[in-house]
Amino acid sequence: MQGSNVDIGGELEAAATRFGFNLEAAAVDRLRLLLGLWQRFGRAFNLSGATDEAGLLGHVLEGLQVVGLAHKIGTRPEQRWLDVGSGAGFPALVVAACLEVQVTLIEPRERRASFLDMAVHQIGRRDCGVLRGHVEGASWRPVKNGGELVTPGSFDWASARAVFSPEVWVEVGRQWVKPGGVVVAHVRAETGVFAGEVGRVDDARWSIRGVARG
């Protein structure tokens, strides 16, 4: 991030305000650190198509929409958040940087999982964890036999970005959250309302929806 002419902190704080919450200084510092990690390790770990500052910042701002939705609906530190197919860490690492919820990141690929594990430790979130495996409907399939068990219906929040179609993900995600838990869906801005929708945060391109399990 050295030599950048972009006011990263200002961009992040302005986006948070647009999405309905105030971004604390500690969260800005964590996000700056993450942006540096994505730039430094993006190609080596095959993390994301975006490796430049502008492209990565766009992903972070979309993650802040998710954080805005969580603020709108309400979170508590003891809540558990499941992120499926975490990849480079969008939105899971942004959520972990900004909220005190306990995030479980699911990523089957070894190199990406190694990066995610490093990143959560770098931002001081040792209460968050990275597991290698696949979510298939209401089933958990670890990459290696004997891997840690992930239990359906045990999370307060569930998110997945670009893993399932939004309609499929809402149905899958509902199986992983508790009654009253929230599934986070990333959809185009013009998408209609989901049954059970309890909140949304819109931007020009993306709309982040919260859909409750009844």
Binding-site positions for S-adenosyl-L-methionine: 85, 90, 135-136, 161
Contacts of residue 29, Cβ cutoff 8 Å, sequence gap at least 6: none
112/172 Cα distance (integer angstroms): 23
Q: Which residues are annotated as a binding site?
A: 85, 90, 135-136, 161
Q: How far apart are CA 98 and CA 180, in angstroms?
A: 22
Question: Is the preceding peptide bond at 91 cis, omega within 30 degrees of 0?
Answer: yes
d(CA 156, CA 106): 16
Rounded-to-integer distance, Cα 93 and Cα 15, Å? 17
User: Is-contact 32 8, C-beta < 8 A?
Assistant: yes
- Tokens 């993306």 sit at which residue? 206
Task: Show Cβ contacts of residue 78 under 8 Å, excluding neighbours closer than 6 positions.
Answer: 102
SS3 of residue 16 by DSSP:
helix
